[in-house]
Amino acid sequence: MAWVVIAGLLRITLAAPEVCPEYSPGDGQTAIDAGADWIVRTQEPSGRYLYEYDRRTDSTVPGYNLVRHAGGTMSLYQLAIAQQGQNHQVVEAADRGMNYLLERAVDTGNGGMGPALSPRGPVKTGTASLTLVSLAHRRILTGDPRYDGEMRALGRFLMGQQLPDGGMLNFWDPKTGAPVPGERSRFATGEAAWGLALMHEAFPGEGWDAPVWAIMDYLSTERDELEELWPPPWPDQWAAYTLGEMAEWGLEDHHLDYARRLAGRFGQMIRWDAQREGVAELSHLPMPRGGGYGTILEGLGGLEWLAIQEPRFLPSKPVFAYGDTGWSSFPINSPIRDRLECGAARLADAQDADGAWYYDDQTRVDDQQHAISGLLMADYRFDLGGMKP
């Protein structure tokens, strides 16, 4: 009887079967386009996005988050790169979103700048980071250097927020003209790493890689314990994006070990959700909101970039993929691809008919943002050379 009970418990917990709908690269395009259309059609002329909406009351929810505004702008530029700028509505919406950010940029001293919700409000490291990421993507899309000065100013601000151990402070206070001491963010450090990594790719030789190495050492060896993030590793998709960007920089063994642990964490999260069917729903939490699930796919996608370029990362087998020179063989790790496509299929199926992803009848702009970016990771190969099917 004891074994029967144990077997029954395993059947609805750790050993529950997975349900992964069939998925091939390209299958998420309809969901990607619908999610982007939701962002575009609800955007105000000022560039401000509809931040949060409740379909039960057919009304917006008060409040605004400028970090998520910057993230929404980033995802639109990612999509525009994937579509080679052919969807003008997406490009124009991204540019409006960017103008909204730049209009709110404040001087943080030493040639630095960062957007804030109000002229005397604090600047968040995450907002500056994702504004920088968005501008880097815009530069990739257009080849237009007009915002190079703003990119450097954002980069200088981020370097001023860095601590000696490589971590990042979360806020800059206009009242004191200095970073707010003692307050870190589980998100801002990885966001800053990716923004500065893109700066190094855009402007090699200017020294933007030094703070990235310091951040990645911190994330790989200290962050989880110091910031009391449990269970480790913290599922940081921004760190995964950065690792993919750094694949050709010569990562060290402790960086690759961290990447392997991240891959395991993201893969485990996909598996747990894919088991949430039938009787196993009794033991599994509801599916995360679109914003949360999308970050898992973003993380796996960033690590797949790493697997493509760094043979020491994980054992892999060649598959054919479309690259900068046409169809060729890339060593894409099949377990990562398997988890990525399983999650993409489940996320696409969870989208509402209006193009949004709802959780408890509410949706936020970042639900669309992360879902779009995550599905793009499953459908495209994305690096600084551009995004290709």
Q: DSSP letter string over 281-331?
A: GGTSPPPPPHHHHHHHHHHHHHHHHHHHH-TTSS----EEEEETTEEEEE-
DSSP 8-state secondary structure symbol assigned to residue 364: E
- The neighbour count for residue 27, using CB atoms within 10 Å, is 17
Note whether 74 and 370 are within 8 A (CB): no
Rg of the chain over all Cα atoms, to the nearest angstrom: 21
| C-alpha angle 125-231-216 in degrees, rounded to nearest 5 | 45
* Non-local CB neighbours of 50 within 8 Å, separated by 6+ positions: 42, 43, 44, 60, 365
Compute the distance between CA of residue 157 and CA of residue 229 in angstroms, rounded to an integer. 26
The answer to whether the peptide bond before residue 181 is cis (omega within 30 degrees of 0) is no
What's the pLDDT score for residue 280? 52
Per-residue pLDDT in tens (0 to 9) along the chain, 389 residues:
665 444 444 444 545 678 899 998 889 999 999 999 999 999 999 999 999 999 999 999 999 999 999 999 999 999 999 999 999 999 999 999 999 999 999 999 989 999 999 988 999 999 999 999 999 999 999 999 999 999 999 999 999 999 999 999 999 999 999 999 999 999 999 999 999 999 999 999 999 999 999 999 999 999 999 999 999 999 999 999 999 999 999 999 999 999 999 999 999 999 989 988 755 565 556 778 999 999 999 999 999 999 988 989 986 555 444 444 444 444 454 689 999 999 999 999 999 999 999 999 999 999 999 999 999 999 976 443 444 43
| Spatial CA neighbour of 215 closest among 195, 187, 190 | 190
Gap between the Cα atoms of 345 and 31, Å rounded: 10
Position 91 scores a pLDDT of: 98
The pLDDT score that the predictor gives to residue 248 is 93
Q: Report in angstroms the alpha-carbon separations of 375 from 88, 171, 218, 230, 381.
A: 20, 31, 29, 27, 11
CA distance 351 to 291: 12
The total number of residues written for the chain in this structure: 389
